[in-house]
């Protein structure tokens, strides 16, 4: 992870549970959703710490626990269709990815054709064309803004029977806001003006004991000094 410097890494089959010890990856923030009632499953997103991230709750219910069948699963396709539509309401560049458990390269697959048709109707396109497990393309990436994708494909992480799918994204860099501050330029004091103001100033320290008299004198002297020091603004 550190050598490739992924900004966002999405994981499936995490097997994390509520009682699992916290997963801490240096330099990353972890968001995860665990399967609650059966073994296995679970998904997680690791986001580089320098990238701001937050969880957005969707109205569409998860279909990650639906069993895979060779025939189109009406609930799964309905859920995906609702998810495509809901994400489009955000009007943001979005990606939907994971192990969809159907072969995207099997042209005669009714499931494949149905889901790709739904994605196209909702202005999403599918990026992965290479096989991700054996001869099958099961792990997919859908996006509604392919224009910012500079590269996509598969990598072999040598830790799973599935290949890793990736997409390189060309997001415009955000410019840091300009920060301005004001400071007193004590190095370039006009001592001629300072001396003139001190001479002409009428110090008022009447009816005070010695200690208070000295404090008041210093207070007025500092006020004169500050009045001749110029303020400068730096951006």
pLDDT at 12: 84
Find the length of the chain: 235
Torsion sign, CA atoms 141, 82, 77, 116: negative
> pLDDT value at position 106?
76
User: Residue 76 class from Cβ within 10 Å (0-12 exposed, 13-18 middle, 19+ buried)?
Assistant: buried
Phi-psi sector, 98: left (phi>0), alpha (psi -120 to 50), beta = left
Band (pLDDT 50/70/90 cuts) for residue 74 is: low
Instruction: Examine the pLDDT at 19 and tell me if it is beyond 90.
Output: no
Q: Name 133's bridge partners.
A: 136
The C-alpha atoms of residue 202 and residue 100 are separated, in whole angstroms, by 86
- The whole-angstrom separation of Cα 32 and Cα 95 is 17
| Model pLDDT for residues 105-149, shown as the tens digit of each residue | 776 777 788 888 889 999 999 999 999 999 999 999 999 999 999
Is 91 in contact with 56 (CB distance < 8 Å)?
Answer: no
Answer whether 0.85 is exceeded by the pTM: no
Most confident region among 65-74, 89-98, 139-148, 180-189 by mean pLDDT: 139-148
Strands 125-126 and 28-33: unpaired
Q: Which whole number is the average pLDDT over 64-69?
A: 42
Q: What is the pLDDT of residue 162?
A: 92
- Take residue 186 and report the two structure tokens written for it: 């004590």
Give the separation between CA 141 and CA 166, rounded to whole angstroms: 8
The closest alpha carbon to 11, from 41, 43, 54, belongs to 43
Of the listed ranges 97-111, 144-158, 185-199, the one predicted with least confidence: 97-111
d(CA 79, CA 102): 16
Would you say residue 71 has pLDDT above 90? no
Grade residue 234 by pLDDT with cuts at 50, 70 and 90.
confident
Q: Which of 11-25, 34-48, 52-66, 189-203 has the lowest mean pLDDT?
A: 52-66
Cα–Cα nearest to 128, from 139, 112, 113:
139
Question: Distance between terminal CA atoms of the chain?
Answer: 37
Question: What is the reported pLDDT for 173?
Answer: 65
Residue 11 token pair: 């994981």
Which helix or strand (DSSP H or E) is residue 112 part of?
helix 110-121
Mean pLDDT of the 175-187 span? 81
Check residue 63 and give its pLDDT. Answer: 46
Q: Which residues contact 210 (CB under 8 A, 6 or more apart)?
A: none
């Amino acid at each position: 992870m550190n050598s490739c410097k992924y900004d966002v890494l999405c994981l499936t089959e995490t097997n994390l549970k509520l009682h699992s010890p916290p997963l801490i990856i240096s330099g990353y923030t972890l968001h995860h959703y665990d399967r609650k009632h059966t073994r296995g499953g679970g998904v997680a997103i690791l986001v580089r710490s320098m990238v701001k991230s937050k969880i957005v709750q969707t109205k569409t219910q998860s279909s990650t626990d639906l069993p895979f069948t060779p025939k189109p699963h009406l609930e799964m396709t309905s859920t995906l269709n609702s998810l495509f539509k809901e994400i489009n309401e955000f009007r943001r560049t979005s990606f939907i990815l994971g192990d969809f458990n159907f072969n995207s390269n099997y042209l005669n697959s009714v499931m494949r054709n149905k889901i790709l048709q739904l994605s196209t109707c909702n202005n999403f396109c599918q990026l992965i064309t290479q096989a991700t497990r054996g001869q099958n393309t099961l792990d997919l990436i859908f996006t509604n803004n392919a224009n910012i994708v500079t590269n996509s494909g598969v990598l072999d992480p040598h830790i799973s029977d599935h290949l890793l799918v990736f997409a390189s994204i060309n997001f415009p860099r955000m410019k840091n806001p300009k920060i301005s501050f004001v400071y007193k330029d004590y190095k370039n004091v006009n001592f001629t003006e300072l001396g003139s103001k001190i001479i002409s100033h009428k110090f008022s320290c009447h009816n005070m004991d010695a200690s208070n008299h000295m404090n008041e004198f210093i207070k007025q002297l500092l006020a004169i000094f500050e009045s001749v020091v110029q303020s400068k603004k730096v951006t």
